[in-house]
Amino acid sequence: MSFDGIFTKAITNELQQKILNGRISKIYQPYKQELLLQIRANGQSYKLLISANPSYSRVHLTNESFDNPSEPPMFCMLLRKHLEGYVITSIQQLEMERIISIETRGRNELGDETVKQLIIEIMGKHSNIVLIDKERNIILDSIKHVPPVVNRHRTILPGYDYVSPPSQEKLNPLLVDEETFLRKLDFNSGKLANQIVGAFSGVSPLFANEVVHLAGITGKQKLANAFVTQIEKIKNHQFQPVIVVGKEKEYFYVLPLSHLGGEVKSFPSPSDLLDRFYFGKAERDRVKQQGHDLERFIRNEKEKNDKKIIKLEKTLKDAGKAEEYQLFGELLTANMHLMKKGQKEIEVNNYYDEFNGLVSIPLNPLRTPSQNTQSYYIKYQKAKKSVNFILDQIEKAKLESMYFESLLQQMESASPKDIAEIREELVEEGYVKAKQTKGNKKNKPQKPTLEEYQSSDGKPILVGKNNKQNDYLTNKLAHREELWFHTKDIPGSHVVIRHPEPDEQSIIDAATLAAYFSKARNSSSVPVDYTKVKYVKKPNGSKPGYVIYDNQQTVYVTPDQDLVRQLKK
């Protein structure tokens, strides 16, 4: 993994420089396995994100904003009791492991000075955040509990002694010279990168592969020299945080990754790198977990309507035979004297054809000539009446399918709060039943909260990320003379610049946001229409979020995640 012991050292070094001796002012727990600490240090305010998420475990300073629950979880309340107002006196990495200890000092409710330790273990699915009483080495609580039945050698529960994760018996690479390095490897066995990972603590395959790549195939000494050179950079804190964008995957690290190739993006600090790398990723993962049932329902409804359209179009094709049924009826009427009961078909001259050609008409052998003739007139009348009905049903099914397709697009960029609004919309539209709440209390409807951005020259831009937000933004909040944006014939968000006369760059910025928050997020040269709000209309009885517009202009933009982050307020 990218977040190895070396990356942990880089993060620890950054935290020591920026928040050591800072005071913890506020603690939040926006999600089940994540903490956000507000810290005041060296005249500046910082936000420290600590995540024990199995897929996105990490610790770093962040500039992102998070929605906090109305009622803080119990672990958050405990941390507030023990850490708010405390001063950070030490930030240390446990040897070269992915473990960081943040030691704090402050006074408890009795006025006695106490020392508390927040232990952050970045270990994939085993990641954890543990608060301990330093003097007694007793666990006060943890964000994940590990009972004895799960791990009897290392129980993580309140009241137990804190025991560090078992050592892997590897050498600390910071204490290794070239000679020691060479002794640990068996050059005859091959797979040198794997041997490096197995011999030295805190070293990931990314680092090991880079060392092998730098050494080339010139021999043992060159490999040892490449390893020690990289380690010297780490010792001297000569970090170069980068993200390498490959064809199928992105990688991040605190040293160059020349062995990967691909586009390289550099960052001033490890925290800036992680903020960019995880932008939206962790939130989308939470949305998938929280909205899995909702997304499955929406997808099923869309597929149901798509199948309905196929069936209706087939029925319409059959109904389109109305003229043929009429022709057969008239030809049978004119030739009834030639028909006999028991015939399966009859060939007659088609006097409607300029060439007077023969036409074969199927007959029911169990019916009389008169009954066969009448059956075609009945089919003609039914087919004629059904065409308009079927066309109406196809139009309704297509609108339904478009509606659910737009909801699927909204799910892709939704936050957990957006998921709740989408679910509420489906309840209001009668697609799903409302969940029962305790006491059956009805909450007052709240105004949707819109995403806020700023154009490059400071003009406010608002984005609706679901239908409730789109309707509120376009039909209630936006002024008539402001510019409104939407991807052309592509499901996406409504975007409005809150300025009557935006410049060209602001228009490009808003169009980029509209393209980014649309189904075409991963496309290039996306067409985005824009017009004044007064030209945008919502037809009576239309679905939430649906509008029509005119007097538009079109601009082509390519969605840019980095630009979206820069524009975020």
What pLDDT was estimated at residue 318? Answer: 72
For residue 200, report the phi and psi dihedrals to the nearest 5 degrees. -125, 135
Under DSSP, is residue 299 helix (H, G, I), strand (E, B) or coil? Answer: helix
Q: Which residues of 420-453 are buried (b: 16+ CB within 10 A; e: fewer)?
A: bbbbbbbeeeebbeeeeeeeeeeeeeeebebbeb
Decide if pLDDT at 508 tops 70: yes
**Residue 476 CA to its chain's centroid (Å):** 28
- SS (HEC) of 329-356: HHHHHHCHHHCCCCCCEEEEECCCCCCC
Decide if pLDDT at 262 tops 90: no
Decide if pLDDT at 444 tops 80: no
- The structure tokens listed for 335 are 């030739």
What pLDDT was estimated at residue 249? Answer: 86
> Strands (DSSP E) along 196-323, which ranges?
242-245, 250-253, 263-266
- DSSP characters over 387-399: HHHHHHHHHHHHH
Report which of 415, 425, 413 is spatially closest to residue 471, judged by C-alpha positions: 425
Q: What is the CA radius of gyration of the chain?
A: 34
The residue ranking higher by pLDDT, 474 or 351, is 474
Give 98's Cβ-side CA count (13 Å radius): 23
Task: Provide mean pLDDT across the span 450-464.
Answer: 93
What pLDDT was estimated at residue 438? Answer: 54
Q: Identify the weakest region by mean pLDDT among 376-380, 381-385, 487-491.
A: 381-385
Decide if pLDDT at 443 tops 70: no
Task: Provide mean pLDDT across the span 412-431.
Answer: 86
Cα(478)–Cα(133) distance, rounded to whole angstroms?
54
Q: 293 falls in which pLDDT band (50, 70, 90)?
A: confident
- CATH architecture under which domain 5-142 falls: Roll (2.30)
Q: Say if strands 460-463 and 358-362 run parallel, antiparallel, or are unpaired.
A: unpaired
The residue ranking higher by pLDDT, 28 or 248, is 28
H/E element holding 310? helix 292-319
The listed range with the strongest mean pLDDT (92-101, 211-220, 440-449) is 92-101
What pLDDT was estimated at residue 269? Answer: 96
Q: Provide the sign of the torsion angle of the four alpha carbons 108, 111, 116, 118, taken in this order.
A: positive
Q: Is 373 within 8 Å of 329 (Cβ atoms)?
A: yes
How deeply is 489 buried, as exposed, middle or buried, from its count of CB atoms within 10 A (0-12, 13-18, 19+)? exposed
Evaluate whether 5-142 and 173-280 have a shared fold.
Answer: no
Q: 62 falls in which pLDDT band (50, 70, 90)?
A: very high
Q: 400 falls in which pLDDT band (50, 70, 90)?
A: very high
For 173-280, the fitting CATH number among 3.50.50.60, 1.10.8.50, 1.10.287.610, 3.40.50.720 is 1.10.8.50
Decide if pLDDT at 441 tops 60: no
Q: Identify the weakest region by mean pLDDT among 173-177, 368-372, 388-392, 462-466.
A: 388-392
The listed range with the strongest mean pLDDT (183-197, 296-310, 432-446) is 296-310
Cα(526)–Cα(499) distance, rounded to whole angstroms?
24
Q: Identify the weakest region by mean pLDDT among 10-14, 258-262, 278-282, 347-351.
A: 278-282
> Strands (DSSP E) along 206-277, which ranges?
242-245, 250-253, 263-266
Q: Identify the weakest region by mean pLDDT among 30-44, 199-213, 438-452, 524-538.
A: 438-452
**Residue 332 CA to its chain's centroid (Å):** 65
Cα(425)–Cα(440) distance, rounded to whole angstroms?
19
Cα(405)–Cα(402) distance, rounded to whole angstroms?
5
pLDDT tens-digit readout, 348-374:
998 888 777 889 999 999 999 999 999
Cα angle vertex 75, ends 69, 81, to 5°? 100
Q: Identify the weakest region by mean pLDDT among 266-280, 283-297, 431-445, 452-466.
A: 431-445
- The structure tokens listed for 432 are 């799903």
Q: Is 91 within 8 Å of 102 (Cβ atoms)?
A: yes
Terminal Cα distance for the chain, rounded:
32
Under DSSP, is residue 517 helix (H, G, I), strand (E, B) or coil? Answer: coil
Q: Which DSSP category does 124 fall into?
A: G
For residue 548, report the phi and psi dihedrals to the nearest 5 degrees. -125, 155
pLDDT tens-digit readout, 102-112:
999 999 888 88
Q: 8 falls in which pLDDT band (50, 70, 90)?
A: very high
Q: 437 falls in which pLDDT band (50, 70, 90)?
A: low
- DSSP characters over 540-567: TTPPTT--EE-S-EEEEE---HHHHHHH
What pLDDT was estimated at residue 445? Answer: 61
Taking all residues of the chain, what is their mean pLDDT, rounded to a whole number? 90
Decide if pLDDT at 216 tops 90: no
- Domain edges within the chain: 5-142, 173-280, 293-410, 451-567
What pLDDT was estimated at residue 94? Answer: 92
Largest CA distance in the chain: 115
- DSSP characters over 472-494: HIIIIIS-TTSEEEEETTS-B--
Q: Which DSSP category does 260 fall into?
A: T
